[in-house]
């Protein structure tokens, strides 16, 4: 961050869900923001429509005090080697929203750069919406290296520009952010929740119940429970469900998620901690994603998806809440 300017010049590289939200919030907070994108792509067109100066990534990087890398994880190593490292100014701040590549050694930042992390705990649409109404999404932040003594200021300034300081800023490390984020996605928020929902649906349908009823019971109504968790934890959930549901929670929950489940969670965490998951994911990406595509196709073709498409077509409020041409907002874990 240049000490001669009151506000650093920021280059946002990438303009997906998080990239767009970051760029808009930072600009509205008074920062000079340039978006780095290849010419002619759909995100480049959208960024220009949003009023941003769009430059090729190499040019955007060269003129910035803070370079925020907001592209997908697997794109970042080549982007850093080929575009960022040769062009970023000496003493600038290199900033990430997820610590994966730095923590697992896929990116070794140049020694003269301050390197920080700012990760909002919510999807891009929420980061933007909360900022616009005068609130903010909590952010975690970390410092990886600090040769110029400005990495903490870089992270905190950036987080404040996103609106995170209006909510909560929590200091972490690249290691802690990366490993807990991956664990949450795999064991609970995405992998665990999806597998639980699919198993519940299959159990009811195989027992002879209507697929539509099974869908409502194990997937549709899950949102109602998650919203209560979000608003006030398990305490609030227990306040708003019936005594019958509470009793079922107490006696049956531990039969589904038991000590064996926790041991398997520990095994998942161990593979994240020792780098096994990262190595497997990097190898899968480099091989052209054959298993990834197969796994994804299996999820998309699960019977609950066809049932859900038919039922959601009648849920007019879902279409009303979704901007034209966009999918409904993604969960916080997918951000």
Q: Determine how many CB atoms are found less than 10 A away from the CB of residue 43.
A: 16
Question: How many whole angstroms separate alpha carbon 303 and alpha carbon 246?
Answer: 29
Is 217 labelled a binding residue?
A: yes
Backbone dihedral region of 197: left (phi > 0), alpha (psi from -120 to 50 degrees) or beta?
A: alpha
Is 124 labelled a binding residue?
A: yes
φ, ψ for residue 127, nearest 5 deg: -55, -45
Is 43 labelled a binding residue?
A: yes
Tokens of 128: 């933007």
Question: How many whole angstroms separate alpha carbon 8 and alpha carbon 1?
Answer: 6
Catalytic annotation, pick one of 22, 98, 103, 144 = 98
Is 242 labelled a binding residue?
A: yes
For residue 145, the cross-strand partners are 115
With a CB cutoff of 8 Å and minimum separation 6, the contacts of 223 are none
Is 181 labelled a binding residue?
A: yes
Classify residue 278 as exposed, middle or buried by CB count within 10 Å of its CB (0-12, 13-18, 19+): buried
The length of the chain is: 335
Is 305 labelled a binding residue?
A: no
Question: How many whole angstroms separate alpha carbon 244 and alpha carbon 235?
Answer: 16
Residue 106 parent element (H or E): none
Is 206 labelled a binding residue?
A: no
Question: How many whole angstroms separate alpha carbon 220 and alpha carbon 303?
Answer: 15
52 in helix, strand or coil? coil
Is 306 labelled a binding residue?
A: no
Reply yes or no on whether 302 is catalytic: no
Cα 129 to the chain's mean position, in Å?
16
User: Which residue bears the tokens 């951000």?
Assistant: 335
Is 263 labelled a binding residue?
A: no
Helix 151-162 and helix 17-28: axis angle, to 10°?
A: 90
Which residues fall in the annotated binding site for substrate? Answer: 242
Which residues fall in the annotated binding site? Answer: 15-18, 38, 43, 124, 181, 185, 217, 221, 242
Which residues fall in the annotated binding site for NADP(+)? Answer: 15-18, 38, 43, 124
Cite the active site residues.
98
């Amino acid at each position: 961050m240049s000490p001669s300017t009151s506000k650093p010049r920021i280059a946002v590289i990438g303009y997906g869900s998080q990239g767009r939200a970051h760029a808009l919030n930072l600009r509205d907070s008074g920062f000079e923001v340039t978006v780095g994108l290849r010419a002619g792509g759909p995100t480049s067109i959208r960024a220009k429509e949003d009023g941003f100066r769009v430059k090729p990534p190499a040019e955007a990087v060269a003129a910035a005090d803070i370079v925020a890398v907001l592209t997908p994880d697997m794109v970042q190593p080549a982007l850093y080697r080929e575009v960022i490292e040769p062009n970023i100014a000496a003493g600038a701040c290199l900033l990430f929203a997820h610590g994966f590549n730095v923590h697992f050694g896929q990116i070794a930042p140049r020694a003269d750069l301050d390197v920080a992390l700012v990760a909002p705990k919510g999807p891009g649409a929420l980061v933007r919406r909360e900022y616009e109404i005068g609130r903010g999404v909590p952010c975690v932040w970390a410092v990886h290296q600090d040769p110029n003594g400005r990495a903490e200021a870089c992270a905190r300034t950036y987080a404040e520009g996103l609106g995170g300081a209006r909510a909560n800023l929590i200091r972490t490390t690249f290691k802690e952010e990366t490993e807990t984020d991956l664990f949450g996605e795999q064991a609970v928020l995405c992998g665990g929740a999806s597998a639980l929902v699919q198993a519940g649906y299959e159990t009811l349908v195989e027992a002879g119940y209507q697929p539509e009823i099974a869908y409502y019971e194990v997937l549709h109504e899950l949102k109602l429970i998650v919203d209560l968790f979000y608003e006030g934890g398990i305490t609030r959930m227990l306040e708003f469900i019936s005594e019958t549901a509470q009793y079922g929670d107490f006696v049956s929950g531990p039969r589904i998620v038991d000590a064996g489940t926790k041991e398997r969670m520990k095994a998942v965490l161990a593979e994240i901690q020792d780098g096994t998951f990262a190595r497997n994911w990097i190898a899968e990406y480099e091989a052209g994603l054959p298993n990834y595509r197969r796994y994804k196709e299996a999820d998309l073709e699960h019977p609950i998806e066809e049932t859900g498409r038919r039922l959601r077509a009648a849920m007019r409020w879902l279409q009303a809440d979704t901007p034209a041409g966009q999918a409904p907002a993604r969960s916080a874990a997918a951000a």
